[in-house]
């Protein structure tokens, strides 16, 4: 659970929104949380991509950047697979 601090003005604004729907602030926030579960935004969460999803974003015909070229041309410094 994440706890955030609100200013008095922010808390009052949220209470007013809840009251406009005939709800307490706590009930209104629970309703919002149930309507939009965290992490379910129609796409994978950051760090949860499949290789095929990442490859779909790639332009395989694009030339490597200068930074990539320098990295590829540099000598091995550890136990890299060649």
Give, for all 82 residues of the chain, the pLDDT tens digit. Answer: 677 788 888 888 888 988 998 988 888 888 887 776 555 555 545 667 788 888 888 888 999 999 999 988 988 888 777 6
- pTM for the full predicted model: 0.40
Packing angle, helices 8-20 and 25-35, rounded to 10: 80
* Cβ pair 40, 49 in contact under 8 A: no
Q: What angle do CA 19, 25, 31 make, to 5 degrees?
A: 100
Q: Which helix (H) or strand (E) holds 12?
A: helix 8-20
Q: Per residue in 27-63, is it b (16+ CB within 10 Å) or e — as a string?
A: ebeeeeeeeeeeeeeeeeeeeeeeeeeeeeeeeeeee
């Amino acid at each position: 659970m994440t706890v955030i601090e609100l200013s008095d003005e922010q808390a009052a604004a949220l209470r007013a929104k809840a009251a406009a729907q005939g709800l307490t602030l706590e009930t209104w926030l629970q309703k919002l949380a149930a309507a939009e579960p965290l992490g379910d935004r129609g796409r994978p969460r950051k760090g949860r991509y499949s290789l095929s999803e990442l490859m779909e974003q790639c332009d395989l015909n694009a030339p490597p950047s200068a930074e990539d070229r320098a990295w590829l041309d540099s000598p091995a410094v550890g136990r890299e697979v060649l």
